[in-house]
């Protein structure tokens, strides 16, 4: 994949994550605030101050997720962003860590 192709995919992914949390906020699932600075999206849980950070790493063509439970790296397989260690999918992991941190 070219760098420009990766950048388009990464931007789409970051937008999807941000929209996911904005919908969760609107539906009273989570009290979160999203902020974006370039390729870094920060989701802060208002009640407890914890954060989830999602960012793109163009040199490695990966998406990185940082949460209380740890840091995770994802590569695009043509359809999904998959964890480079255990093969789990980015949005599944994101859902799990959001539930853990949103308590």
Residue 1 has a pLDDT of: 94
Residue 103 has a pLDDT of: 77
| Cβ-proximal residues to 46 (8 Å cutoff; 6+ apart), any chain | 31, 32, 33
Q: At residue 102, does pLDDT exceed 90? A: no
pLDDT, tens digit, for every residue of 30-87? 999 999 999 999 999 999 999 999 999 999 999 999 999 999 999 999 999 999 999 9
Q: At residue 3, does pLDDT exceed 90? A: yes
pLDDT confidence tier of residue 92, bands split at 50, 70 and 90 = very high
Pairwise CA distance, residues 12 & 30, whole Å: 22
């Amino acid at each position: 994949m070219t760098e420009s192709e990766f950048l388009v995919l990464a931007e789409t992914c970051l937008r999807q994550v941000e929209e996911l949390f904005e919908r969760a906020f609107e539906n009273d699932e989570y009290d979160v605030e999203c902020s974006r600075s370039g390729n870094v999206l920060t989701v802060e849980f208002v009640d407890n101050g914890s954060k989830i950070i999602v960012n793109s790493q163009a040199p490695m063509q990966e998406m990185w997720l940082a949460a209380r439970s740890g840091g995770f790296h994802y590569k695009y397989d043509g359809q999904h962003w998959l964890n480079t260690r255990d093969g789990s999918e980015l949005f599944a992991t994101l859902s799990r860590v959001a539930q853990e941190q949103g308590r």
